[in-house]
Amino acid sequence: MIDDDRVWMVRDIINNYVKSPSLQHLRDPHSILSVAQAIVKQLDRESGIWKKWVGERDALLKASLACWIPIEELQSYLNRLPGPQLTATDVSQRQRAYWEEPYTSYPNDDLKVGCLALFAEEKALGTELTAIIGRIAEHIEAEEERIRLERDARFKAMRESEKLVAEQRLLSGADCKWTQLKKAPESYCRTNGRTYRLTPTKDKRWNLYRVDNPSLEEKGTHIGTYGGRGDATKVVAKIAYEPEYR
């Protein structure tokens, strides 16, 4: 019968690690080192290295890690909880120990000003620190989602702009890589002034044609059928500079 809590703790860490669907990740030396570090740090914590962090102190500190709460405010509140008196160094180094653990990150610098403004607002109202941490955590979650959506929108706009530039390049007669027009399944490229069309087949292959213009109205000259676009690209790179008989 296993009756040592440390064994259960190590089991839980390993169990979470092996849930990864990637065999490459499981065998990665850096990943294995991270798991070993997590186990050692947890065992150190359980053995009592951090002797002042009793009761609810650790839980409160962990909840505040991303919230940009001023050290002196944390120190003052934590010292009201049961346990030996904490210095500012006790608090800052405990934070650092958590931040350096695997799967834990430092607070977002871009959100620091907003977090501190919320802290000052709630403190002026007399809000308890635990509630302030909760509100700031909600603020961070909302801001990170907003930032993600804005980033995705910028990326989408950039891709659309790149597609438009590529279409204009194709239609202008300049050499270009494979380009779709108006999201059509066919792609066109131009190499050495020669235009080629790539058309997908029902069996997920590609028909390559030599054409005069990027238009489906032109049947074109069939060059071959290929398993992937990469194969067709290699063929184009070769025949585009060979004598052409049409």
Residue range 133-151, pLDDT digits in tens: 999 999 999 999 999 999 9
- State the average pLDDT over residues 153-170: 92
> What CA–CA distance (Å, rounded) separates 48 from 50?
5
The count of other CB atoms within 10 Å of the CB of residue 5 is: 9
pLDDT tens across 93-111, in order? 999 999 988 878 889 999 9
Contact by Cβ (8 Å): 68, 34:
no
Specify the range with the lowest mean pLDDT, choosing from 2-6, 25-29, 167-171: 2-6
| pLDDT confidence of residue 13 | 80
User: Sign of the C-alpha dihedral, residues 66, 40, 59, 75?
Assistant: negative
CA nearest to 226, candidates 239, 212, 242: 239
Mean pLDDT of the chain: 88
Contact by Cβ (8 Å): 25, 16:
no
pLDDT at 2 exceeding the cut of 50 = no
| pLDDT confidence of residue 146 | 95
Angle at CA of residue 47, ends 42 and 53, nearest 5°? 80
> What CA–CA distance (Å, rounded) separates 159 from 209?
27
| pLDDT confidence of residue 244 | 74
pLDDT level of residue 125 (50, 70, 90 thresholds): very high
- State the average pLDDT over residues 165-178: 92
Per DSSP, what are the bridge partners of residue 208?
A: 198, 224
| pLDDT confidence of residue 16 | 79
- State the average pLDDT over residues 167-183: 91
pLDDT at 236 exceeding the cut of 50 = yes
pLDDT level of residue 55 (50, 70, 90 thresholds): confident
pLDDT at 1 exceeding the cut of 50 = no
